[in-house]
């Protein structure tokens, strides 16, 4: 077994795609009167796509991404904003 930490560096295109999808999903959720934060957290925790509206194809879009990809991008964005 290897005790060294593995470094993971996602591709820039992948990061941009996750951000684009999240923006589109947030727009669709807002337009339908939902709180994007609550709905996306519900989706990420449960894996249930019913948390995401089908308006503007948002449910299809978010399911194209792996939930780990979404979490990674959200943490990256937070850390960048906090200067870490």
List the chain domain ranges. Answer: 13-81
- The reported pLDDT for the residue numbered 2 is 72
Tokens encoding 68: 């780990």
What is the model's pTM?
Answer: 0.80
- The reported pLDDT for the residue numbered 4 is 81
Examine the pLDDT at 40 and tell me if it is beyond 80.
Answer: yes
Could you count the other beta carbons within 10 Å of the beta carbon of residue 22?
19
Percentage above 90 pLDDT, the chain: 74
Examine the pLDDT at 10 and tell me if it is beyond 70.
Answer: no
Write the pLDDT tens digit of every residue in 45-64: 999 999 999 999 999 999 99
Please give the Cα distance from 20 to 83 (Å, whole number): 22
Place of tokens 């993971």: 8
**11 SS3 class:** coil
Average confidence score pLDDT of the chain? 91
Work out the average pLDDT over 5-32.
Answer: 87
Please give the Cα distance from 75 to 69 (Å, whole number): 10
């Amino acid at each position: 077994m290897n005790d060294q930490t593995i470094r993971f560096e996602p591709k820039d295109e992948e990061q941009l795609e996750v951000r684009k999808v999240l923006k589109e999903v947030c727009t669709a959720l807002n337009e339908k009167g939902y709180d994007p934060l609550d709905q996306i957290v519900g989706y990420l925790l449960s894996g249930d796509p019913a948390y995401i509206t089908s308006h503007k194809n948002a449910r299809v879009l978010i399911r194209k991404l792996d939930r780990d990809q979404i979490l990674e991008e959200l943490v990256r964005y937070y850390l960048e904003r906090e200067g870490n």
